[in-house]
Structure 1
Amino acid sequence: MRGTKRSTQALDNPLAEQAIEWMVLFRSGEATPEDYQRFSTWSAADPRHAQIWARMQGVLQRSFAPIREVNSRAPGQVEAVERIVLRPAASPTRRKVLRGALMLGAVGVATGILANRSMPLAALRADLHTGTGQRKSFTLPDGSTLVLNARSAADIDFSPALRRVRLHQGELIATVAADAARPFVIETEHGTARALGTRFLVRREPEQSLALVLEHSILVRNGSQEQVLQSGQAAYFNRDGITRVTEDIRSKAAWADGMLVVNDETLAEVIATLRTYRKGFIRLSPAAARLRVLGAFPLDDTDNVLRSLEQTMPISVRNFGNLLVMIDVR
């Protein structure tokens, strides 16, 4: 049980993706002396980098045996992945295959993979939480409502003097009931957004948080700074500062209506959203990640979204059962 928990935490760690990319490069046989120098710089830049590298190296030593156990419940899906993984190293798809295999190996235990993709295990400890592909509305004791997007988690801390919601992961939209005696605050590790009106969105990202005002106004604080945002305005905030968003991004709240509205964003950003709505893994090549996307897509049908992207963009989308999708440029 402890091993599964540690492996799941490794997967949730945003630094794990960076470690995986280094592993893919080194195992591809294509690494140059300059690449090893860049890795040395990356490893020394932060103690967490060396720690996640060591952890990911360790979990890769585990075999695929536990994953095969899943096959008894989902026949054919795991074999499809393993056949691709076991292709000769000279195959032109080997580098992409290594990415997928490393992502699977990072969890170490098959049940951990499936459970974490369905519901972030760390989120289960939160007062309010949603799983993969879930959106849910909660009514709070004061009559306010919170709508949580997929794979989100928050704790409620109401006292006679303050109404506080701690957003641990994901994003939410708050519609706040009036109470002049008790301020309403959404808190992340990067700062707070205090309601001065009725409706606003907060999204927690690894390095910063986003606040978007949908009605009236809010006060954003990061500890040493504060800014008032009016309806339609947005800002990113963390301990380093508060940065206003110059364009209108109210469409980012369209998820509450089951839609993903994309206005000239990278494919990497689009796929990051789809991952919260899809239980399998999606691997995206660096070349494809840089492509720009424009459109509106239904969040509750990720297969349809992937087909639409493949039809309208210069990319190939390869499905290996429901467990793995690989996307690359054509």
Structure 2
Amino acid sequence: MGACPPSSKVVKQAIQWLLRLRESGHAPALRLQCEQWRNADQAHEVAWQRVVSLHQDLDLRAIAGANVALQTLETSQRRLHRRQALKLLGGVALVGSAAWLGKDLQALSSWTSDYATGTGERRRIPLPDGSLLQLNTRSAVDLAFDERQRLIHLRQGELMLTCNAAQGPMLIRTRDTLLEGFDAQVVVRQDADCTRISVSRGQVALHRPGDAALHWIAAGQAWRVDAQGPHLLQQQAMDANAWTEGLIVTRDMRLDAFLAEVARYRHGYLGCSDDVADLRLSGVFRLEDTDKLLQLLPQTLPVLIRQRTRWWVRLERLA
């Protein structure tokens, strides 16, 4: 079954541990005590992961005044409900940050999810039935595992699921569709206007609400599900599985689409001028350092990098 939401008391304890570790410089003895607290109860670990994820997504260390919000949470005499804590943290972040932070605040839905990742983070999660769930950057899922079903609800972002067939069908629900697989490996991505599905092993059944037809996605196929329905994609400009290895692999991909993909793994604004948006690139790019990745582009494309701050980067045509 999915992890139970932690109580406000446990969430407050997790915030206190985070503050103590930061103030001590992550002293080994204190870090060990924190690990013992996390291991003592599943609710402790769930609360810890959500507090750390929220901390990373807001980039609190770079936002003036955000630490004051954490200190307020720590010293408050009343228990803070989760929504109150989010309102306080979000309010301080919006006051003390630039406009680009609005995009990153979308990740706050991870606060109420069973598992989530922050910006640039990827996670591998072994499931109780032996299946493997992997989450890409800025992703959030809920699990519903019981004697009747095995269901993963993708709330945002992207996942790869390697199914264990022995336990019966595995279900993946997104905003646009319900997927069913037995012995398969599938990548599912929920964008603002569609859900993308790519199957690399086995086959997956696609159910769409209100549609009596059942579509089967075979290994090697990629589909898009949007308001017009499911569509088989004939070509893909990017390897759908590469992110699990920390890579972006492109094939004749537009520069503006490539930059939009890289932007998922970093904070701030990343874009390009209209006169270079249609430039094409193919290659293998490593994600662990997106600044270094961007420095490679002027070596193969007629562009220059204009950087106003750490969080504002734009590519323009080389004069």
TM-score calculated relative to the size of structure 2:
0.65
Matched, 1:199 2:196: no
What amino acid is the match of 2:278? R
Q: Which residue does 2:221 correspond to in 1?
A: 233
Compare 238-247 and 200-209 and name the one that shifted more: 238-247
Q: Which residue does 1:318 correspond to in 2?
A: 306
Q: Percent identity?
A: 29
- Cα RMSD after superposing both structures: 2.7
What amino acid is the match of 1:130? T
Q: Which residue does 1:167 correspond to in 2?
A: 154
Q: Which residue does 2:121 correspond to in 1?
A: 134
Contact 1:118 1:279 in 2 (8 A): no
Instruction: Mark the runs of 5 or more structure 1 residues left unpaired by the alignment.
Output: 1-67, 74-106
The partner residue of 2:280 within 288, 292, 296 is 292
TM-score calculated relative to the size of structure 1:
0.63
What amino acid is the match of 1:202? V
SS at match of 2:121: coil
Change (3 A) 1:237 1:201: same
Change (3 A) 1:295 1:250: closer
Instruction: Mark the runs of 5 or more structure 2 residues left unpaired by the alignment.
Output: 1-61, 68-92
Change (3 A) 1:283 1:246: closer
Q: Which residue does 1:155 correspond to in 2?
A: 142
What amino acid is the match of 1:167? L
Change (3 A) 1:72 1:326: farther
User: How far does the alpha carbon of each residue in 1:92-151 deviate from its partner, in whole angstroms, 9 at most, with x for none?
Assistant: xxxxxxxxxxxxxxx843358669649822222211111111111011222211100111
Task: Report how many aligned residue pairs link the two structures.
Answer: 229
Post-superposition offset of 1:188:
0.7
Cα distance in 2, alignment partners of residues 246 and 69 from structure 1: 44
User: How far does the alpha carbon of each residue in 1:177-203 deviate from its partner, in whole angstroms, 9 at most, with x for none?
Assistant: 1245x4211111110221132211101
Contact 2:238 2:251 in 1 (8 A): no
SS at match of 1:300: coil
Post-superposition offset of 1:207:
1.1
SS at match of 2:242: helix
Change (3 A) 1:303 1:194: same
SS at match of 1:252: coil
